[in-house]
Structure 1
Amino acid sequence: MPYAQPPRPQLVYLAFGPATYHQEACFSIVSALACLNAAAGECLDIQVYTDNLQPYSGLPITTHFIDDATRQAWNAPHGYHFRSKHVVLRQVLQQHPLAVLIDTDTFFRQSPMQLFNRVASGRLLCNAIGPRYGADRHSVLYRKLHATLAERGLADDSMPMVNSGVIGLARGDAGTLDHALALMDELHPVAPEAYALEEFCLAVAAYRRLAVHECTDVIHHYWSHKAQFRAKIQAWLRKHGHDLLSAAALADVAKVNDQLPRPPVLHRLGYKALTLTLPSRERQFARELLYGCYPYPNEFDRACAPAWWDKALENLTGRCGHVAPEHVRQCLRHPGLRLSLGERRKDVEAHLTRAR
């Protein structure tokens, strides 16, 4: 009898909407392929469920086109868009014994096979294990849902929260997804403003039933400081979009690292001293502008400059309300800041005062 090949693990993405999400997904996929150890025989299947097939045409993956009607059905009955994550993973597990669904705003630090090494019967793989449910009694999830769930014996203050940027399960535990879907449908009307209801329901469904494992060492999930990491990825795509799997493109994957670009400590101290001459409400604004202007040796860190400048203005607006372009110009013309920005001042001014 011929030797039967073991079933291949399934890495699954769900990518919809603006081009940014497809850019994220493409880079995450390439980072997975770059980290695979082909010499050791590592292999997996990658499936992408999407409303736009074109961005993935050059990648060795399986794509599934999903139209609006199907997506709306997945999000029914309340139109909760994260519900579709569980629907897709449930569908894949009907066909395969092992699957991991991963958000698009991720990239790999290690081989994706490390994820599948942590998926087994009786286990839930998530991106990160969070604090206990009772740690934040002021959250909407606690205020509106705790009494009901405690009364039914579904959750208590000791339940660990999870981040569902990664969801990995074996087929035998797919019922966890059914339970989570049922909870979403029931609880959404009670807490419609709960953005993270999907991952909360996953935590409830797994509580006392599955051992929960995390994988922050394997992937970077950049839900925080997203603009800077998107800027790195977009710079990589501008450089390698014509051939995503070339040797040069794969070599550059490691340069799109998980570090938020910041100048060295001495430079940051210098920026802090410099900004003491500015009005107090403008000091953080100036420091963040200078973070963007620092000449980082890594080309993908340098690409974060506009994201730093945008964040600086966003934070200033949050502190002061609407900031007129003329106020920005006045701040940039402060002698100390003008000198520190040097030739970049014109770039910063043009970027921040353009029509928004």
Structure 2
Amino acid sequence: MDHENVTVTRGTRSTLPIIVAVHSTLLGQAIGGCRIAHYPHWRDGLTDALRLSAAMTDKAALAGLPHGGGKTVVALPPGRTLDAAARRDVLHDVGDVIAGLGGRYATGPDVGTGPDDMVVIAERTGHVFCRPAAAGGSGDSSEHTATGVLAALRAICADRFGSAVLSGRRFAVLGLGRVGAHVLRMLAAERAILTVADVDETRRAVAGDATWVSPEECLTAEADVLVPSALGGLLTPATVPRLRCAAVAGPANNQLDAPETAALLHERGILWAPDFVVSAGGIIHATAVELHHETTEQATTRIAGIASTLTGILESARATGTTPLAAARTAARLRLG
């Protein structure tokens, strides 16, 4: 394990497993979201925290941020729900653990948390970002993440099809949560042809004129680009042979079940954009505005740079005969020294 620090403790108020993984502070304070999710066992949450924090180091490095990677995971047992009081206890427990790290790590929203939760964590530690604008923060990062996804989609279409124009292209958007819904809206505005799905049937209300299908059908839909926008791990040796797309690019974290799966995509001629590059828009905006006090215009310019970063990675992969994953990790290691 190459992490600098991993804390696993039982919350003093909630009694739930609180996991905080700090992967690297080489470039500066580690950053990464706070995830509250169900896991079969708390060790599965630990595995998630280790993988996500390492990916965040690469994400920050490739985005040009003066930060390293970290992650918080609260591992809920199957079937466990949180009422308002229990949720507050969990968030205070998280804040205490982060405070104990002495500034080495700051957290923001992730799966299962939002800007309002960051306000509660901030009652215990100042090392938090993406609080609501009314509370002095940078607000919900999901739209900025989606803006970065659009930049990445233009870059991957330019590389794969010779044109960055999204109009008339077929996209399969799998997952219509906060980020996925924004991506769908932006693609619809570009007049793309859309197939969409979510495990939550109520999300059908945001599908608009897009074709609604089951998650399994969306994963294997005939499309130019598959856009994974929910939880990770969907690209596996079992699913890759069934894909019917030319490229994969989306904001879901840890899309590959294992690094070796990148080679399977490469062998099939499916161009995969590393998720830690595609999904960087939210963290770029939040850290630029809230932690480094840049203007919104400066942050927007940084987000647009995701396109050139991804283009460089794809060109490097092609020139060296490697996968985009290998090229991205090489680029990140170069920045980390």
TM-score between the two structures when normalised by the length of structure 2: 0.29
TM-score between the two structures when normalised by the length of structure 1: 0.28
